[in-house]
Homo-oligomer: A and B are copies of this chain.
Amino acid sequence: MNIPRSSFPRIVIIGGGFAGISLAKRLRNKNVQVVLLDKHNYHNFQPLMYQVATGGLEPDSIAYPIRKIVQEYKDFYFRLAEVREIDAENNILYADIGELKFDYLVIATGSKTNYFGNKEIERNSMAMKTIPQSLNIRSLILENFEQALLTNDIDERHSLMNFVLVGGGPTGVELAGALAEMKKAILPKDYPDLDVRKMEINLIQGSDRVLDSMSENASEKAEKFLLDLGVSVWKKVRVTGYDGKTVTTNSDLSFDSATVIWTAGVQGALPHGLKGDSFIKNVNRIKVNQFNQVEGYEHLFAIGDIAVMSSEKFPLGHPMMAQPAMQQGRLLADNLIKIINKKEPKPFEYKDKGSMATIGRNKAVVDLPKFKFSGVFAWFVWMFVHLFSLIGFKNKAVVFLNWVYNYVRFDREARLIMRPYKKRSNVSFTSDEL
């Protein structure tokens, strides 16, 4: 990888998400050599991806070049690389662009969609974990409407206008709300020769409430908001299959749909090479101690979504969100410096700053540790927090401008099919990995 050794110990970080970037920033100019690897050259702001998928924001404004973040960091190297395998015994990793020795390795590879082994669903449904996937969803929604215009077959048209979102977590709920707003304000104007009232949005949740990681108050309010917007919410229903035409469930409920968006599960994006007892097999997440040290290894650490730090309060690990990832990244930076200087590291303690979700215009739910609320004020809080969490002044300004414009004009102008998702032949699909 053409990275010269310096006199400082080398820390290699895999992944430039919330966890990896927080760690890298805190290690700036700290008498260590840092190598950051990511398969993309940008950091992206996942919480706003659903707005890219529904034409509310352009993808560039929720992405930020990693090299720009780390400009002027001393003894710092970024490489665009895909890690293939870790040889933890010999402190070496293998990537598509070559191999690299490390003194300390931090795995911050995040999570990816979990289909729980159902290959049929994996093949036929859409995921929304990356920007290209979000753009694919944007294209597919619009292509379906273009196609619905062309058919006189009522069943086909219904299927093209029937959107099934599997998973009632924040992503599914926010996406459902955004689709419902498109149905209300935009699509009837764009497709006057189509009866857009017939568009359906079905949100399917396995447990007994949406947003089940939030308070019951939030779940209740969110469901009410969704119903007000015309979303059909199905609880205690599990999707069992989707052949590209019909969604089957564990009840006698089924849906004919051309578009299934799967947000019902995540798993760790686990790199190869770790010992089998250092991670939890069914979810591919790495077991770490309270210093984010990987079980069974001294020089290996894992932070963010990929890491499971079991504690009394969080027996299954912390929630897979930005906050724990960032807090772990920052603490690990301090702890690595301590470890290098033979000092005692500090155990991680999660400070829950709360969680929130937006369902639509003036509609959001916010759970703060001591206070839960919803509605217009929650919606402003949601916007404020997300705006200020974006990296970079220009991204903040462009997103703000878009939001003001969309709010005032009841519009979303980024409804562009820049890269068609469906080939015109209606048979072959482009890879959603690009």
A residues engaging B (CB < 8 A)?
1-2, 40-42, 58-61, 63-65, 67-68, 71-72, 77, 79-80, 82, 96-98, 131-132, 135, 142-143, 146, 149-152, 189-191, 193, 392-395, 397-398, 401-402, 405, 411, 413-420, 424, 430, 434
In the complex the two chains form, what is the Cα distance from A189 to B66 in whole Å? Answer: 12
Choose among B72, B80, B150, B405 the residue that contacts A98 (Cβ–Cβ < 8 A).
Answer: B150
In the complex the two chains form, what is the Cα distance from A190 to B63 in whole Å? Answer: 16
Which B residues are in CB contact (< 8 Å) with A65? Answer: 190, 413, 415-416
Instruction: Check B392–A413 contact: CB distance below 8 A.
Output: yes
Instruction: Check B82–A413 contact: CB distance below 8 A.
Output: no
Choose among B40, B152, B417 the residue that contacts A40 (Cβ–Cβ < 8 A).
Answer: B417
Instruction: Check A150–B1 contact: CB distance below 8 A.
Output: yes
In the complex the two chains form, what is the Cα distance from A79 to B150 in whole Å? Answer: 9
Choose among B41, B190, B401 the residue that contacts A142 (Cβ–Cβ < 8 A).
Answer: B41
Choose among B63, B146, B190, B417 the residue that contacts A42 (Cβ–Cβ < 8 A).
Answer: B417
Write 20 A-B pairs (CB below 8 A) sorted by A numbering: A1-B150, A2-B151, A41-B417, A58-B61, A60-B60, A60-B413, A63-B418, A65-B413, A67-B415, A68-B190, A71-B189, A72-B189, A79-B149, A80-B146, A82-B424, A398-B401, A398-B402, A401-B401, A420-B434, A430-B434
6 more A-B residue pairs beyond the given contacts A58-B59, A132-B418, A393-B405, with a C-beta to C-beta distance below 8 A? A1-B150, A2-B152, A42-B416, A60-B416, A68-B190, A71-B190
Which B residues are in CB contact (< 8 Å) with A392? Answer: 413
Instruction: Check B41–A146 contact: CB distance below 8 A.
Output: yes
Q: Which residue of B has the minimal Cβ distance to A59?
A: B418
In the complex the two chains form, what is the Cα distance from A131 to B416 in whole Å? Answer: 11
Q: Which residue of B has the minimal Cβ distance to A186?
A: B68
10 nearest A-B pairs in the assembled complex, by CB-CB distance: A58-B60, A67-B190, A80-B146, A42-B416, A394-B405, A71-B189, A41-B417, A60-B414, A58-B58, A65-B415
In the complex the two chains form, what is the Cα distance from A230 to B397 in whole Å? Answer: 33
